Amino acid sequence: TMLPLLLLLLPAAHAIVELSYRPALTQTPRLEGQVTASTFVLDQPRCVFQKYNTTDIWLVVALDKAASTFNNTAAPGTSETAFQRFPNSVSAYMTLNATLANYPCPKPAEDIAVLRVGSETSCVRDETRPSCNGPLPGPGPYRVKFLALQGSEPVAETKWSTPITLKEAKPPSKISTTDRGHSAGMIAITTILSILFAILLAGLVAMLVFWGSDSCGSSSTFSKPESVTVRRYNTHHVYDQPAARL
């Protein structure tokens, strides 16, 4: 008679406290890249796990369609929750483990209390680091939640976030080569510049032709100067005089 009672009490002994906090994309002003093609930025869970100051706090990242089937008893750092197997054979992975000291409460005014999910690239293929915070493999959508573990025992968790969809890069075939907002102006400017360039080029060619013809005409007016012949005159009267008279 005691065995059925113990079986009923066993799940209650391992019940996980669900907190009211729901992770969300940060709204921190002037923070660029809130959502990119492979990352997104969350607010840190400040003042959420204050009653669990000896726990390790993990972030669970799951595909939207698989969030409800995540096994809370799955241990972090194993093949069952490894980033390298996501999303092919693992529908959710665990990353960004921290202690409560990393999430002080209240938040210091100078702190930027955010977490960028997907920011590590060096461990993407390193299976010795199953908790890698690697780039997300597609647009998603994804859901995330924070899970507090006492050793290997889950003791508290937040709610799942709303679906988070990443940006998608446009294929080259769909990238417009014209800007609709400036196409008319750009065409007009291009046309004017083309006309001005043609006029300038025509003027340059005409100038070169003029200079060439002018130099040829000037050279034809010069003629070789005639040679000057100097006749030699002999003073005959000098030679006719007798030598004795000299």
Average pLDDT, the chain: 81
- Check residue 188 and give its pLDDT: 73
- Check residue 226 and give its pLDDT: 54
Domain ranges for the chain: 17-168
**Contact assessment for residue 55 and residue 149, using Cβ atoms and an 8 Å cutoff:** yes
- Joined together, the tokens standing for residue 241 give 């005089």
Would you identify the CATH topology of the domain 17-168?
Immunoglobulin-like (2.60.40)
Helix (H) or strand (E) run with residue 4 in it: helix 2-13
Which residue shows structure tokens 């990242």? 61
Helix (H) or strand (E) run with residue 114 in it: strand 114-117
| Average confidence (pLDDT) over 13-27 | 87
Q: 193-239 pLDDT, tens per residue?
A: 888 888 888 888 888 877 776 655 555 454 555 555 555 555 555 44
Which residue shows structure tokens 């100078």? 110
- Joined together, the tokens standing for residue 185 give 């102006």
**Contact assessment for residue 164 and residue 142, using Cβ atoms and an 8 Å cutoff:** yes
CA distance 234 to 213: 52
- Check residue 214 and give its pLDDT: 61
CB atoms within 10 A of CB 94: 25
Burial class (CB within 10 angstroms; exposed 0-12, middle 13-18, buried 19+) of 68: exposed
DSSP per-residue string spanning 134-199: PPPSSS--EEEEEEEEETTEEEEE-PPPPPB----PPPGGGS-SS-TTTHHHHHHHHHHHHHHHHH
For residue 173, is pLDDT > 70? no
Q: 90-137 pLDDT, tens per residue?
A: 999 999 999 999 998 988 888 889 999 999 999 999 999 999 999 999
CA distance 89 to 170: 28
**Contact assessment for residue 96 and residue 145, using Cβ atoms and an 8 Å cutoff:** no
pTM, rounded to two decimals: 0.65
The contacts of residue 37 (CB under 8 Å, 6+ apart) are: 139, 166, 167, 168, 169
- Would you say the C-alpha torsion 78, 82, 31, 26 has a positive or negative sign? negative
Higher pLDDT, 184 or 54: 54
Report DSSP state, residue 116.
E
